[in-house]
């Protein structure tokens, strides 16, 4: 079952992704062996089939069954499939989330291949997740993504940051451990320390203030840490 403490932990962002494909149902992630088993489970539950759902590539908390269930409620039934994406990696958005963490953003990564999670949302679920993403735009991903469970590639959407991505030594920074990320950002900026304190725990406490979150974004831009990604942010 979903553990509320893990969902509420900003320093645990983005949460745990499933090791394979399955179905989020009744607060649990249930693995599925193949496409037919997934189709049968959706039919038995009386919910929309895969063909009526919008696939969305998850680059942050939407790839965590616990955190997705917290967004959609305990009755949500959502297929979550393993996906192989090329030329895209998981970076860091240039803002502080209302959830009191520094969140993920897709970044261009030519020649790279990564295994991420694809979530398949019905119309109501898609609208609900859109409402939880005020700092993002949902846009079509330029290239199809391979989804082994469905036996081929699919066209999908992705949530792109409205604010661009954070840089590290001039290149888009990769999302890693949240505690380490926050510690590094605080160490690099006296202005951020003045706003948020010196430790990740102090950061989490102060990040509940929307004025501080907005100022943090301005500091990141002024420091030259931010680059728009034309592929996602145009």
Question: Is 34 within a domain?
Answer: yes
Question: Is 146 within a domain?
Answer: yes
Residue 15: per-residue pLDDT: 94
Residue 187: per-residue pLDDT: 98
pLDDT higher than 60, residue 4: no
Average pLDDT, the chain: 93
pLDDT higher than 80, residue 3: no
**Dist CA 141 CA 160 (whole Å):** 10
Question: Is 212 within a domain?
Answer: no
From the list 49, 148, 184, 73, the residue with the least C-alpha distance to 193 is 184
Contact status, residue 66 vs residue 15, Cβ threshold 8 Å: yes
Question: Is 117 within a domain?
Answer: yes
**pLDDT tens for each residue of 84-116:** 999 999 999 999 999 999 999 999 999 999 999
Question: Is 97 within a domain?
Answer: no
How many domains, the chain? 1
Residue 30: give its domain's CATH number: 3.10.490
Contact status, residue 95 vs residue 103, Cβ threshold 8 Å: yes
Domain that holds residue 8: 4-83+113-161
Question: Is 145 within a domain?
Answer: yes
Question: Is 130 within a domain?
Answer: yes
The model carries a pTM of: 0.93
**pLDDT tens for each residue of 53-87:** 999 999 999 999 999 999 999 899 999 999 999 99
pLDDT higher than 90, residue 27: no
The pairing of beta strand 226-227 with beta strand 165-168:
antiparallel
Task: Tally DSSP H helices, then E strands, for the chain.
Answer: 9, 12
DSSP three-state, residue 22: strand
Question: Is 64 within a domain?
Answer: yes
């Amino acid at each position: 079952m979903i553990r509320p403490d893990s969902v509420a932990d900003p320093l645990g962002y983005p949460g745990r992704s499933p090791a394979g494909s399955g179905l989020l149902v009744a607060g649990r992630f249930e693995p599925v062996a193949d496409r037919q088993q997934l189709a049968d489970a959706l039919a038995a539950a009386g919910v929309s089939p895969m063909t009526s759902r919008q696939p969305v590539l998850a680059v942050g908390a939407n790839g965590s069954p616990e955190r997705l269930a917290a967004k959609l409620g305990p009755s949500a039934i959502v297929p979550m499939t393993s996906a192989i994406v090329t030329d895209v990696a998981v970076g860091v958005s240039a803002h502080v989330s209302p959830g009191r963490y520094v969140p993920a953003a897709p970044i261009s990564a030519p020649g790279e291949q990564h295994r991420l999670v694809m979530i398949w949302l019905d119309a109501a679920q898609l609208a609900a997740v859109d409402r939880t993403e005020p700092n993002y735009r949902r846009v079509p991903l330029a290239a199809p993504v391979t989804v082994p469970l469905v036996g081929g590639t699919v066209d999908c959407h992705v949530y792109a940051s409205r604010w661009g991505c954070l840089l590290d030594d001039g290149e888009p920074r990769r999302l890693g451990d949240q505690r380490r990320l926050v510690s590094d950002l605080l160490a690099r900026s006296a202005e951020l320390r003045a706003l948020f304190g010196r430790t990740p725990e102090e950061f989490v406490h102060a990040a509940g203030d929307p004025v501080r979150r907005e100022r943090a974004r301005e500091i990141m831009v002024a420091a030259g840490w931010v680059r728009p990604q034309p592929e996602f942010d145009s």
